[in-house]
Structures are given as C-alpha cells and as structure tokens.
Structure 1
Amino acid sequence: MGTSLRIAISSIVGIAAFAVLLFVPAGTLSYWQGWAFLAVFSVASLGPTLYLGRKYPEAFERRTHAGVRAETRPVQKVVIAGTFLVFAAMLVVPALDYRFGWSLVPAWLSIVGDVLVAAGLGLAMWVVVQNHYASANITVEEGQPLVSTGLYGVVRHPMYFGNVILMIGIALALGSYWALLLVIVGLLLMAARIVDEEKMLTEELDGYRQYTQKVRYRLVPLIW
C-alpha cells in the first residue's frame, strides 16, 4: 500500500472516530463548532502529513509508531494511555457541554480556537521537518544527532509546546470552557513524559546534558 493511500485511509478513519466522539454526545448534527473543528483539523493535518510522507518518508514512519505498545518505558506507557483518554475526553466534554448548555463561548472565540488548532498542528509538523528523528514514541536511535537550533533553540520540546496550543485550541474551538480543565490534566501528563524522557536523553544522547544548560526551558518559554 502506497504512503499517500495509507495516510488518506488513516485520516478518514481518524476523522470518522472524531465525528462519533463529537456528535453522539452532542445528540445532534447541528453542532457547527464540531463541523468547523473537523474541517480545520482535517486540512491542517492531512496536507502537512502528505508532504511529510513524500518528502521525509523515514520521519513519517517514525511518527506512525505510536501508542502504548510502542513505548518501552513503564512511565511512558502510563502517560500515553492517560493522554489518549484525555484527548478523547476533550472531544466528548465539549459535545456534552453543547448539549446541556454548561458554558457559552462566543463564536469569535471558537474561531480563535480553530486558528490555535491549525497553529498547534502546524508547529508539530514543522518540528518533524527540523528534526527527522522526532518519533511518536520515546527512543534514541543509533547515530541520532542532537538538534539544538530552530525551534529547539527556544524550548527543548517544541512539539509538546505545539500540543499545548492544540489542546487549548480544541477546547475553545468546540465551545467549552469546562474542557479547559482537561488541558491542566494534559499538561501534567506532558510534564511527566518530559521529565522521564529527559532522563533517557541525558543518558543516551550525546551532548544532551550540555544542551539543557544552553536551552533552559523545557516546554513553555519563560515559564518551564
């Protein structure tokens, strides 16, 4: 099966799963925030993924090895399982919020959320272009170079920073202030992932300890 076909099938299945998580809890198809989010997510992820698959096939393959089974470290298995649950909840909770009217997010703020979704996804893809070894699971490959320039010169984990933007964007795009509480849970899981990941990188990736002294912030500039 060709790479482009694999990407297309995976994207269709993924969007279909998102639609179920959104519209079943919402109890209606008249949930415009859900449709807008699906459209933005589809465009912002499919185009760059197709480009990545064609231009950097090895980097694309690394991004496909994801999930609990792909992780070798016990902490990471727990974190990834929790992350999947949080992401699913970030679709279900806003849908329930819409159904029962728990919070009222203005349309313009939902549009801002869609912009953040696109920005977060775009940033994550740009990280892979800058660092072809940025895999979906925690690993260090033989001969893997240390990348310390570009986005990696700002924070040590720019892809996770993109995920922070994405999570905030999802909650706002889907019109739910309550879903922002899930961002806090997601951040705690991300922090646990980063701390454990850096232990391994310090031990196995040449120059990483010196890099942490040069780039002080792990996730968010000027904060942590």
Structure 2
Amino acid sequence: MIARLVVQTVLWLAGMGVLLFGAAGTLAWPAAWWYLIELGVLSLWIGVWLAGHDPGLLAERLAPFVQQQQSRWDRLFMIGVACVWCGWLIVIGLDAMRFHWSAPLPVALVSLGSLCVALCIFMCRFVFEANSYAAPVVKIQASRGHKVIDSGPYARARHPMYSAALLLFVGTPLLLGSWWGLAFVPLMTIGLGWRAVREERVLAEQLDGYREYMTRVRFRFVPLIW
C-alpha cells in the first residue's frame, strides 16, 4: 500500500510539474518547486498516517476517480474536474511566468497561499480521522458498513473536505503568483457546491439517517454562511 501511495503521488506531482513548467516555459520557478514539494511532503505524510490508522480509507483514496459504482453524473463531473484542473495549472503557468499578465503578488500573499495549502492538508487529516468513508467519489460503501458521520468537523459542516478544498483553490494561485488563476476560484467553488448538492441527494436517498443529519447540521461548507 505504501509503495502504491508513493508511486501515485510521484506520478501526480510529475504530471502537475509538466503542466506548470511546460506552460511557464522554464524550470526557474522557485514558487512552483516549493508548491510541488509542499504538496508532496504533506500528501505522503497524511497517506502514511492513513496506512496505519485506516488502510481501508487509504485504499479508497488511491482508487480510480472514475468507478462503476458511481452515478453517471459523478463520473462526468470527475472527468470535468481533471480537465479543469489541468487547464487551470496551464493558465497559472502562462500568467505567472511566460507572459506575466499579472502584476507580481506581495510576499505576504504568496506566504498566505503556502499557508492555505498546508491548512488544506491538515484539515483533510481531521476529516479522515472522523470519516472512514471519505472516498473521492460519490457512492455508498455498503461493504464497509457505510454510516452517517456527525462527529469532528462533520458536527459543524456537512462537507468539511470541500471546505478544505476551497483553501487549496485559493492557496494555489496565491503561492504561484497568478491573479488570473485566482479569478477561476469562484467558478470552481460553484462547481464544488453543485456536486455537494447532488451528493446530498444520493446520501439522503440511500444512506439511513442522512436526512436527519441534514436537519441537525444546516451548513454545507462554512458555518453561518452556506
């Protein structure tokens, strides 16, 4: 399992590196190197922790993002996510390094971006600790005894992992120095919100107790906001 984690992480980072540096037209981009190193180290850290704490969840996290158990809409959504993510990284590389469409970001904002990326991973750590069923795809994991989780971060928001993803959305373009990348964040957030609503319909129909959970925890991403 650890070997698979390392291989998939390296391939994922290599793919991101090709997109970023290819669009940038140079390898002399310290912020991008730091971004990949930060993501890589923290992802391996949380993966190794999961291997000891919850290997079943790690197996789910390492599974393909398109699966037979998914609804058709979620398969299409995940394919769309992969395409948007790749296009987003290319735009960031073109903006920040090749054409310099954006004015340089202040060091404070770049540092804030790095902090947001780290906070995203740390938030995921708490999500995984609370929810053994936090698969990347929308499905009911009947074979693993899927049940409603309402403890930890799930006591405050119904989709705390999506809340963490918002930090990654904001942190990535800030760290890499791209205002144009940041301009995509509202659209990506809307897409994530759409998926959350569709996911809740599946859970409410197929997972015992989820409707009651929705009445107890009113907010999806951010308490008191939405």
2:101 is the alignment partner of 1:102? yes
| Offset, 1:122 | 1.9
> Residue in 2 aligned with 1:85?
83
Matched, 1:211 2:213: yes
1:139 correspondence with 2:139 = yes
Partners of 1:78 and 1:126 lie apart in 2 by 28
Separation in 1, partners of 2:70, 2:86 = 23
**AA partner of residue 126 (structure 1):** F
Q: CA deviation at 1:67?
A: 1.8
With normalisation by structure 2, the TM-score equals 0.93
Partner-residue secondary structure (3-state), 2:180: coil
- The one-letter amino acid paired with 1:90 is W
Report % sequence identity.
Answer: 34
Measured after TM superposition, the shift of residue 134 of structure 1 is: 1.0
* Separation (CA, whole Å) in 2 of partners of 1:71 and 1:105: 43
User: In 2, Cα distance between the equivalents of 1:220 and 1:15?
Assistant: 29
CA contact (8 A) 1:86 1:182 kept: no
The answer to whether the 8 Å contact 1:70/1:137 transfers is no
Long gaps (5+) in structure 2:
none
Question: Cα deviation per residue 1:48-103 (whole Å; 9 max; x = unaligned)?
Answer: 11111232111111112232345621221222122112222232111111211111
1:32 to 30, 33, 37: 30
Contact 1:110 1:173 in 2 (8 A): yes
Deviation, 1:189, is 1.5
The 10-residue stretch of structure 1 (185-194 or 19-28) with the greater mean CA deviation from structure 2: 185-194
Counterpart position of 1:116: 116
Unaligned runs of 5+ in 1: none
Aligned pair count?
222
Please list the CA deviations of residues 177-224 of structure 1 after superposition, one character each: whole Å capped at 9, or x if unmatched: 111122122112211211111111111111111111111001122221
Letter in 1 for 2:8: S
Once the two structures are superposed, the pairs formed by residues 142-181 of structure 1 within 5 Å of their partners are 142=142, 143-181=145-183
Taking the aligned partners of 1:206 and 1:86, their CA distance within structure 2 comes to 34
Q: Is 1:193 the equivalent of 2:195?
A: yes
1:192 is aligned with what amino acid? W
Contact conserved, 2:126 with 2:152, CA < 8 A, in 1?
no
Could you tell me which amino acid in structure 1 is paired with residue 111 of structure 2? I
Deviation (angstroms), 1:28: 0.9
> TM-score with structure 1 length normalisation?
0.94
